[in-house]
């Protein structure tokens, strides 16, 4: 697809869509709305559920309004479209260790450097970036990444502090939901921007009827599942989609396994 069309479908950061990050006190607890029940009645709380403290300890909130996951104690993995370029950068604050962004227990660490995927916005794809922190996030577990396509299927978990509905405000509390894998063929058949899906670099997930999805402000956050050892592994990075939770319009994620070697190499140089 064209660059302009693709950019308009990004799960943009809060800053990109609103000019500033707005945290809502007790907003609807949903990373995305669940599908309607068979009788057409929506659940009482539209959306997923709040994550428990410590449930996904490697989740990171970035001050430009994106999400991320702690890849090493001092490096956050996020989306390339959340940052502008590779180079020294001390303007980003990472918030870690809490589900409530207003908690007095939150750990806040400034960035020192950003590495943006050199293949981002090219025909080979690569919507990923690394943010080096000024100091290690001591005592916080990291999230390993998928190095093979073995886990690019099944049901995935998603989490973030982004909007609970399309165009909605950012959330105070970390919210979670689950979405099923969508094949490349089905994803491309959604039409529009999806016809330009880069099969080797992107992975889709969502319900045919919509209702569950990541949304604006969730960019850069992980899509993850358990591996064969029962450990969490990151298989996707929130990238783009047409709107949020629309029927027939799944979420599109950077396929982490495709870029695992490049990610590891870049991290080793930071």
List residues with catalytic annotation. 81, 127, 219
CA–CA distance, 92 with 159 (Å, rounded to integer): 20
**In the numeric block, which tokens belong to residue 34?**
């669940």
* Residues 210 and 241: beta-carbon distance below 8 Å: no
CA gap 41, 36 in Å, rounded: 6
6: closest CA among 252, 260, 184? 252
CA distance linking residue 183 with residue 31, whole number of Å: 22
Cα distance between residue 126 and residue 231, in whole Å: 25
CA 90 to chain CA centroid, nearest Å: 22
SS3 of 87, please? strand
CA distances to 52, 72, 85, 213 from 88, in Å: 34, 19, 9, 33
Helix, coil or strand: residue 150: helix
Strand partners of residue 94:
62, 109
């Amino acid at each position: 697809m064209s660059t302009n069309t693709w950019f308009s479908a990004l799960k943009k950061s809060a800053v990109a869509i609103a000019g500033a990050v707005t945290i809502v006190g007790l907003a609807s607890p949903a990373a995305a709305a669940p599908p309607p029940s068979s009788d057409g009645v929506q659940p009482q709380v539209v959306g997923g559920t709040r994550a428990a403290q410590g449930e996904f300890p490697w989740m990171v909130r970035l001050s430009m309004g994106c999400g991320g996951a702690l890849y090493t104690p001092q490096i956050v993995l996020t989306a390339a479209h959340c940052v502008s370029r590779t180079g020294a950068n001390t303007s980003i604050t990472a918030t870690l260790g809490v589900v409530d962004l207003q908690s007095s227990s939150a750990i806040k660490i400034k960035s020192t450097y950003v590495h943006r995927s050199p293949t981002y916005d090219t025909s080979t794809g690569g919507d990923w970036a690394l943010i080096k922190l000024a100091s290690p996030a001591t005592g916080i577990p990291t999230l390993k990444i998928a190095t093979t396509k073995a886990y690019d299927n099944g049901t995935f978990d998603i989490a973030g502090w982004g909007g609970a509905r399309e165009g909605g405000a950012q959330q105070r509390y970390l919210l979670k939901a689950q979405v099923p894998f969508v094949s490349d063929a089905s994803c491309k058949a959604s039409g529009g921007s999806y016809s330009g899906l880069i099969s080797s670099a992107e992975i889709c997930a969502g319900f045919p009827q919509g209702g569950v999805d990541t949304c604006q402000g969730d960019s850069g956050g992980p899509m993850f599942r358990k591996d064969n050892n029962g450990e969490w592994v990151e298989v996707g990075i929130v990238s783009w989609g047409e709107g949020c939770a629309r029927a027939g319009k799944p979420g599109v994620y950077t396929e982490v396994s495709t870029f695992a070697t490049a990610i590891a190499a870049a991290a080793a140089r930071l």
